[in-house]
Copies of this chain bind each other. A is one copy, B any other.
């Protein structure tokens, strides 16, 4: 009857569970279902249950978990998740700015490295980059203390009527889309004219760039804000 399980809580896998809970919980930190986690992490639901039980029953638990009711990060879990997110986005910025990686390749490389760097490395690249607040996808980089400015933006898919916007951020998880958008000069900070039609959005960045027909299914990956 191993009740007070002694769990090794510093693994790549644990990091990834915490990051996934942070991402799926959204800004309101809603509770996240096993199935959603299983899908995001590419593992079986049973594996998720197993891990959640471990994370919840550790000595200082990373999550609050109740059977059948989903899971939330504990304060400690949130701290760790934000730390890994900071690693991730700093590494992405670094790969993009210093090592000249193409934007669509930085995510996968960061996804591995984020788990294996020490504070010193983080501190050195942050310094080298001038303590950036935004990564190359337009996402906010959490500060050392875990604070992160709320983003004042909306998914492109929620646009109600045609208009002009500024590109806020683009999801880092779809390399192909990132490449396409880049080819149309649709990058964070760019001005964007949006025209809605039943099944797609038509996007135009600068004068020189061709209009892009974007399926609605892809429009969740782009966030916009107003042109002040």
Contact = CB atoms under 8 A, between A and B. Distances in A.
Report copies per complex. 2
A166 to B, nearest CB: 30
Contact of A113 (B98, B99, B100, B117): B117
A124 interface: yes
A118 B107 CA distance: 13
A109 interface: yes
Interface residues of A, number: 17
Contacts of A99: 121, 124-125, 128
A34 to B, nearest CB: 28
A120 interface: yes
A182 interface: no
A120 B98 contact: no
Interface string A107-137: 0010011001110110011001000000000
Interface of A: 95, 98-101, 105, 109, 112-113, 116-118, 120-121, 124-125, 128
21 contacts: A95-B121, A95-B124, A98-B98, A98-B128, A99-B121, A99-B124, A99-B125, A99-B128, A100-B124, A101-B120, A101-B124, A105-B120, A109-B117, A109-B118, A109-B120, A109-B121, A112-B116, A113-B113, A113-B116, A113-B117, A116-B116
